[in-house]
Structure 1
Amino acid sequence: MLHDLDETLKQLLIQKAGLDPAEVDISFDIPTRDWSTPVTRPTVNLYLYDIRENLKLRELYWDEEVRDNGKIRLKRRPLRVDVSYMITCWTSTPEDQHRLLWRVLETLFRYSPLPEDILQGSLKNVVHVIRTEVAQPDGVFQSAADFWGALENQLRPSIGLVVTLDLDLEQVQEAPIVFAKMVKIGGAVMYRDVFGVEYPLEQLQPGWEAAPVQLGGLVHDPEGRPLPGAAVRLIGKEVEGRPIQVGPTIHTDAEGRYIFHGIPPGEYTLVVEVAGQAPQQHPLTLTVRERGEALPEFIQEVEVPMKK
């Protein structure tokens, strides 16, 4: 997977930034003094220095597939892993270095997430679009002076790049099909102790039960054309300082539609990811109506600005 990512980034610089391999080298070596001393041609160095799980994007749900044997196949959703690169440019003059660095920076911003037509090897089969974060101030890389000191090389300008990849653990289980499930939501019965302190009990107030909400919508471009295959996720309130995904990731159908079933009322962020475009985030609130009124079906329409 990492080798395929390296090759994908190389193709990004060749195909999209227009760097001719006959004139500019692309390297993934550690930029130590011993490496940089013999460099004579213009070179873009992409040094992979950190790998860690993206806890904010962790999905707790499993994909379901009904089998012919009367059972259901459960497959764990892939983990999301952040791969961090430090990108530097090496030329004979500072002017050429800055021109090359800016060209690389512009390309990384323009093609985020990574476009499908340059994906190499196993990256062609991942579940999620491959997100990138470019030149962000809150990245893993903190102390440039300490870093270059450890490499025994001179301090130079760099671009931070974080690529989020799928890590499929291939965890699969089979289980009997569950044909019915009842979920009740509403106001809890409160118990008051002798000191006047109230505690919620694990039962609902009679007549105040509410069914889970159905949330659906349409994803389209500014011209109103539907966007099939867009990944739609629902992010709930933070747990232990981290946002948590509610329900599975839904992909829009041929008409750009999506639907979530059985969502509890509350505050959420709807995240829509389309290949080659920046993720769209839309805050929304699913509310419970007054006693005796039916819950509505919530419709959220999302317009995705398309890069030229």
Structure 2
Amino acid sequence: MIHEIDDALRRLIREEALPSATVDIVLEAPTKEWAARRNAPTINLYLYDIREDLRRRSRGLINEYDERGQVIRRVAPPRYVKLSYLVTAWTQRPEDEHRLLSSLLLCLLRFDALPPAVLTGSVAAINMPVPMTVALPPPEDRAFADVWTALGGELKPSLDVVVSTPVDSGREVPVGPPAREGLVAEVADRTGDGDDRIRHRPARSGG
């Protein structure tokens, strides 16, 4: 699932933001050692945080039906996972980096979700929206300066891109067989005179 979002972002940037630019798009950690080895204009999509998007968690179960309209199984709804990317541009001049970041920002702001055309694999199979945000303020429990400190590098202009992708939870609840016509239920009928009689009543078929 994560690699499918990686591919979707790279494809979106390549086709929509920088269609004619000769730029490498990589997923490596932008450490000092990596920066020293870089020898071409590069967009770095560094995945630095993975956590569940609790605001999008749904309760209950989803029914799945056969061709006769009968419930054949019940599954838990997909869970959403937030993938946070630190997006940076690397060239020989800060001016060129700013141009690249500007192109990325203007492109990504056009989309509230990843376009279905760039989705593949399990993410596409779920057939649900994949929300995306760009350049929002970080949550209180996380700061971009802390990310750069952990990487051992110097603070650099960057975009924070967060993708909330649906994930199949794999949870399934067994379903019993449907009720059939002709079943007989035994019902105790108390008459009040001490005589508990058993009367047979046909049961109605279940819906």
Q: TM-score range by the shorter chain?
A: 0.7 to 0.9
CA contact (8 A) 1:89 1:97 kept: yes
Structure showing greater radius of gyration is 2
CA contact (8 A) 2:26 2:42 kept: yes
CA contact (8 A) 2:87 2:160 kept: yes
TM-score of the pair, normalised by structure 2:
0.78
CA contact (8 A) 2:79 2:167 kept: yes
Q: Which runs of 5+ in 1 are unaligned?
A: 180-308
CA contact (8 A) 1:82 1:164 kept: yes
CA contact (8 A) 1:65 1:73 kept: yes
Q: Matched residue pairs, number?
A: 178
Counterpart in 1 of 2:43?
Answer: 44
SS in 2 for 1:85: strand
Q: For 2:69 and 2:94, locate their aligned partners in 1 and report how far apart those are by CA, in whole Å.
A: 67
Q: Aligned pair in 2 of structure 1 residues 107, 141: CA closer, same or farther (>3 Å)?
A: farther
Q: For 2:108 and 2:19, locate their aligned partners in 1 and report how far apart those are by CA, in whole Å.
A: 13
TM-score of the pair, normalised by structure 1:
0.53
Counterpart in 1 of 2:149?
Answer: 149
SS in 2 for 1:169: coil
Q: For 1:36 and 1:24, locate their aligned partners in 2 and report how far apart those are by CA, in whole Å.
A: 15
- 1:72 Cα shift? 4.1
Where does 1:180-259 land on structure 2 (aligned, <5 Å)? none
Counterpart in 1 of 2:109?
Answer: 109
Cα deviations by residue, 1:252-283 (Å, 9 ceiling, x for unpaired): xxxxxxxxxxxxxxxxxxxxxxxxxxxxxxxx
- 1:55 Cα shift? 1.0
Q: Aligned pair in 2 of structure 1 residues 37, 17: CA closer, same or farther (>3 Å)?
A: same
Q: Aligned pair in 2 of structure 1 residues 75, 146: CA closer, same or farther (>3 Å)?
A: closer
- 1:141 Cα shift? 7.5
Counterpart in 1 of 2:27?
Answer: 28
Q: Share of identical aligned residues, percent? A: 36
SS in 2 for 1:74: strand
Counterpart in 2 of 1:235?
Answer: none
Counterpart code for 1:57: R
CA contact (8 A) 1:86 1:160 kept: yes
Counterpart in 2 of 1:61?
Answer: 60
SS in 1 for 2:175: strand
Counterpart in 2 of 1:18?
Answer: 18
- 1:40 Cα shift? 1.9
SS in 2 for 1:37: helix
Counterpart in 2 of 1:169?
Answer: 169
- 1:120 Cα shift? 2.5
- 1:35 Cα shift? 0.4
Q: Aligned pair in 2 of structure 1 residues 71, 10: CA closer, same or farther (>3 Å)?
A: closer
SS in 2 for 1:175: coil
Q: CA RMSD in A?
A: 2.3
CA contact (8 A) 1:132 1:161 kept: yes
From the two aligned structures, give the one with the greater strand fraction: 1
Counterpart in 1 of 2:123?
Answer: 123
Q: Which runs of 5+ in 2 are unaligned?
A: 180-207
CA contact (8 A) 1:90 1:97 kept: yes
From the two aligned structures, give the one with the greater helix fraction: 2
Q: For 1:90 and 1:176, locate their aligned partners in 2 and report how far apart those are by CA, in whole Å.
A: 59
